[in-house]
Structure formats: C-alpha cells, structure tokens
Amino acid sequence: MKIYAHRGSSGTHPENTIAAFKAAAKLPIFGVELDVHLTKDGELVVIHDESIDRTSTGTGNVKDLSLAELRSYDYGSWFSSEFANESIPTLKEVLHVFKDTSHHINIELKSDIFPYEGLGNKVLHEIESLGIADRVVVSSFDHEAIREFKKSAPHIEVALLTMEVLVDAYDYARFIPADALHIFLPAAMRKMTKEALLKGSIIRVFTVNEIEHAQALHEIGVHAIFTDYPEKMMDFIGPHN
Ligand code: G3P
Ligand code: MG
C-alpha cells in the first residue's frame, strides 16, 4: 500500500505550504497530494479552502483576490509561529519542489464549489510544460471537470473523489471515464470498496491518520492512502511501498 502526503506533510507543517511540501519531498514515500484554486487574476494557487480565513492572516475567497493580494498574508503562523511568513504557493512553485524527485503528484482540482472556468486547462498546461505527465494523477469531487480533463488529456491519469457510499463504483468510474477512485475513509470501509477492488478498480483512501485504519485498508487490498502523517505511516508500512 502506497503513501501520499496529504496537503504535503500537513500534520507537522502548515498544510499546502512550501514548508509542508519540502518536508514531504525529503521522505521516501510514493507521493504527495495538493489542492488547486484559481485567483481573481487567473493564477493557479495551492490551498485547501475556497477562502483564506482558516489558514492565513487574511480574509476572503481566493477567487476574489489577486495573487499579489493573496501574497500579502501569512499562511504559516495559524499553525505555529515557527512557520510565520509562509506564503501561499503557486502550483508552479509546488511542482518545482518535486522537480528532481520521483514522487507521484496528485493534483486535486477544487472546482466543486466555485466552477473556476479554465482551471483544468491551466493545470494541464503546467503539467505539460514541466514534463511530469507520467507521474501525475488529477482528481476532483467535480466529476464534470474530470470528464473534461480526460477528454483533453487521455494520457494523464484521473481519479474521482467521493465522500459517498456508491453502488457500482467501478462501473461509474468507467462511465466518466476515470482511472481511479479516491474514497473518504468511512465510505472506504463499506462493501463498495471490496466490490470495486474485485472488479479491478484502483482505490486510494483519504484521510488515514490512524495505524488501525491503515492496517484494515491494507488487508482489504486498497492501493494507497493519503495521510497527514507520512512518517508515522512509513514506520508501519515501510518506505517506497
Ligand atoms: O484528495 C484527497 C483529499 O485531499 C480530498 O479531500 O478535502 O482533503 O481535499 P480534501
Ligand atoms: Mg485534497
């Protein structure tokens, strides 16, 4: 079972910051996950929420602020004063951290709340310009965006995110079409996961921070987990699995 650092090493560093990604990049784990939104002036930035209220010293929605405005706030001190002055990174800056590593990169398109016109195409351009298409998986709760992305870039792996307990998840993923399912932990413990695995789905589960849960998922045959504590999970699963 493979390990992805969720929002970077976000249990020990402020999520989705360069500090969190540099910490993840040093680890012999399989991959990393990050969330992408679009600013008012059309720049790709890495942050989880639609708004900057929870993880910065500022307020407002990413879509209503320019990159320069977003950059005027601190995205580290909410977590710890040790990380004061961490900025909001662009997608390019985050991908640069993994330029010379072999980590698999999960780019989550956060267009399920605000549609962010053109988000998928901009992300595709970034992936192609860095030549990392073979080690990227693009995911979203916005399954329309995944369908569109796959149409534009059939060579890049895509995954459907779901919090729901689905019936025939394997068939649904083929219908989109998507290459993998990224499932919320409580739903992953249900029948749907075993059935989809039996039919041949690639299944990755978020967010797995407890060893007991990792153990249970490992036994079911889940392919990977997203965790805020990659080092702790590495001690259990072993590196580079
Ligand atoms: O991609 C897995 C996970 O990150 C999805 O949920 O809310 O943490 O982005 P969220
Ligand atoms: Mg995410």
pLDDT digits (tens, 9 = 90+) for 179-228: 999 999 999 999 999 999 999 999 999 999 999 999 999 999 999 999 99
Tell me, using a 6 A CB cutoff, whether residue 228 lines ligand 1.
no
- Domain limits for position 231: 2-46+89-237
Are the C-beta atoms of residues 162 and 186 closer than 8 Å to each other?
no
With respect to residue 40, please indicate whether it lies within any of the assigned structural domains: yes
Residue recorded with tokens 């990659």? 230
Q: What is the rounded (10 degree) CA torsion for 74, 75, 78, 79?
A: -130
With respect to residue 29, please indicate whether it lies within any of the assigned structural domains: yes
Distance 206 CA to ligand 1 centre (A): 7
With respect to residue 69, please indicate whether it lies within any of the assigned structural domains: no
Here the CATH number for the domain that contains residue 183 is: 3.20.20.190
Per-residue pLDDT, 64: 98
Structure tokens at 37: 């939104």
pLDDT, averaged across the chain: 97
pLDDT digits (tens, 9 = 90+) for 70-90: 999 999 999 999 999 999 999
Tell me the pLDDT band of 237, cut-offs 50, 70 and 90. Answer: confident
With respect to residue 131, please indicate whether it lies within any of the assigned structural domains: yes
Structure tokens at 19: 């500090």
Per-residue pLDDT, 96: 98
Q: Distance between CA atoms of 205 and 209, rounded to whole angstroms?
A: 11
Residue recorded with tokens 């399912």? 181
Any idea which residues carry the catalytic annotation?
6, 48
Are the C-beta atoms of residues 180 and 137 closer than 8 Å to each other?
yes
Q: In angstroms, what CA-CA distances link 61 with 113, 115, 235? A: 11, 13, 38
With respect to residue 62, please indicate whether it lies within any of the assigned structural domains: no
Per-residue pLDDT, 238: 78
240 pLDDT above the threshold of 70: no
With respect to residue 57, please indicate whether it lies within any of the assigned structural domains: no
Q: What are the phi and psi torsion angles at 18 (to 5°)?
A: -60, -35
The 8-class DSSP code of residue 90 comes to B
- Its sign, for the CA torsion 123, 125, 129, 135, is positive
Distance 40 CA to ligand 1 centre (A): 23
Average pLDDT over residues 53-80: 98
Q: How many domains does the chain have?
A: 1
pLDDT digits (tens, 9 = 90+) for 100-159: 999 999 999 999 999 999 999 999 999 999 999 999 999 999 999 999 999 999 999 999
With respect to residue 169, please indicate whether it lies within any of the assigned structural domains: yes
Tell me, using a 6 A CB cutoff, whether residue 6 lines ligand 1.
yes
27 pLDDT above the threshold of 70: yes
Tell me, using a 6 A CB cutoff, whether residue 141 lines ligand 1.
no
With respect to residue 216, please indicate whether it lies within any of the assigned structural domains: yes
Tell me the pLDDT band of 241, cut-offs 50, 70 and 90. Answer: low
Read off the pTM. Answer: 0.98
pLDDT digits (tens, 9 = 90+) for 154-184: 999 999 999 999 999 999 999 999 999 999 9
13 pLDDT above the threshold of 80: yes
